Amino acid sequence: MARVRRRVARMAAWSVTGLLIVAGVAAATAVGVPSAPKALRPIPRIVGGADAPAGVFPFMAALQQWEGDGYLTICGGTLIAPDEVLTAAHCVDQWAVGQATAGGQPRERVIVGRTVLSSGDGSVRLPEAIRVDPTWDSATETDDAAVLQLDAPVGGVSTPTLPVSGNRGYERPGAPAVTVGWGSTQPQGPTDVGGGVYPDELRQVSLPLVGDGPCQGVFDGKRNPALFPKVMLCAGGDGHHDACTGDSGGPLLTALAGGGWELIGITSWGNGCAVPGTPGVFTRLSAPEIHDFVATSGGSVAFGP
């Protein structure tokens, strides 16, 4: 069984019951994380969370594709510099700069700072360059990271800091982390395909970080997916709270004592959504190879203490 990512499927999303389409915008989400029985497959979403208050996550980005007669939000992302958005490689590996529809609309766009998708808030930008981590492996989801350079800076936004290379100080098992997104709010089993309920308003959920050993114990022995702790970080697993389909590319954050956020992970994949005993899996931003990719992608990225 193939690994399930947390990106919204392109064609199937339009026929999904509960998909919210407002003012030409199809609001969907990313991939979730259930448990690990027999065959495993990754998925993405926010399940068991709450609406995110306006202004709390001004750096949150919605990645959208034109689908027929409106834009579909397929993934999330994080503004890490005025003109750069960090997301998952599997969200944008099929994107290309400068693509347009027959009607002249940009095929892909990025919205930063919009809490409610159907509103006109935030800044709309186009990708000017797409940098996928050159070591990303689509078969294993290792190094699942990409940086979008925007066609114009987004001003006035306080961005999160990122970990210094090798610093796992913010990754203590049991410590609370927060992930946000517009992904499905409906739990999904490891073999569920399609479906889901996608919110118009940004959602947030708190997840406890899970140690490498316990998380690897969930996935080891299952050929697909497998966990690679060097570049993957786990969170959640209580069966009630998780990311889900449509949340891919979004942030995993920890609150800093002095205010602000540390960005420690990118929503990557899961085995269903909110499946008991199965954490969600995130790209580990403290991993030296991931850090080096982000640091060399340009822009004024802030690396934390």
Per the CB < 8 A criterion, the answer to whether 230 and 72 are in contact is: no
Q: List the catalytic residue out of 144, 192, 200, 212.
A: 144
- What is the CATH classification number for the domain harbouring 79? 2.40.10.10
Specify if 121 maps to a domain: yes
Specify if 52 maps to a domain: yes
- Is 240 one of the catalytic residues? no
Place 196 in a pLDDT band, splitting at 50, 70 and 90: low
> What pLDDT score does 155 carry?
94
> Tokens standing for 220?
């080891």
Range of the domain at 117: 1-300
Place 225 in a pLDDT band, splitting at 50, 70 and 90: low
> What pLDDT score does 165 carry?
92
Specify if 305 maps to a domain: no
Specify if 88 maps to a domain: yes
Average pLDDT on 17-46 reads: 32
> What pLDDT score does 16 carry?
26
Closest to 269 measured CA to CA, from 257, 277, 278: 278
Closest to 232 measured CA to CA, from 66, 3, 2: 3
Q: List the catalytic residue out of 35, 83, 90, 286.
A: 90
Which of 211 and 304 is assigned the larger pLDDT? 211
Specify if 13 maps to a domain: yes
Per the CB < 8 A criterion, the answer to whether 278 and 218 are in contact is: yes
33-90 per-position pLDDT tens digit: 323 322 333 334 466 678 899 999 999 999 999 988 899 999 999 999 999 999 999 9
Q: List the catalytic residue out of 35, 123, 184, 248.
A: 248
- Is 144 one of the catalytic residues? yes
Helix (H, G, I), strand (E, B) or coil at 28: coil
Q: Is the pLDDT of residue 21 over 70?
A: no
> What pLDDT score does 152 carry?
97
Q: Which helix (H) or strand (E) holds 179?
A: strand 176-181
Closest to 256 measured CA to CA, from 204, 178, 181, 173: 178
Q: Is the pLDDT of residue 30 over 80?
A: no
- Is 220 one of the catalytic residues? no
> What pLDDT score does 271 carry?
84
295 by Cβ neighbours in 10 Å (0-12 / 13-18 / 19+) ranks as: middle
> What pLDDT score does 193 carry?
52
Total structural domains within the chain = 1
Helix (H, G, I), strand (E, B) or coil at 92: helix
Dist. CA 100–CA 102, nearest whole Å: 7
Helix (H, G, I), strand (E, B) or coil at 133: coil
The least confident of 15-29, 64-78, 182-196, 205-219 is 15-29
1-16 per-position pLDDT tens digit: 234 555 554 433 322 2
pTM of the entire predicted model: 0.84
239-257 per-position pLDDT tens digit: 888 888 889 999 999 999 9
Share above pLDDT 90 across residues of the chain, in percent, rounded to a whole number: 58
Average pLDDT on 111-117 reads: 95
> What pLDDT score does 99 carry?
87
Neighbour tally for 99: CB within 10 Å: 14
> What pLDDT score does 272 carry?
81
Dist. CA 295–CA 228, nearest whole Å: 22
Place 20 in a pLDDT band, splitting at 50, 70 and 90: very low
Specify if 143 maps to a domain: yes
Per the CB < 8 A criterion, the answer to whether 250 and 242 are in contact is: no
Closest to 272 measured CA to CA, from 227, 239, 229: 239
Specify if 229 maps to a domain: yes
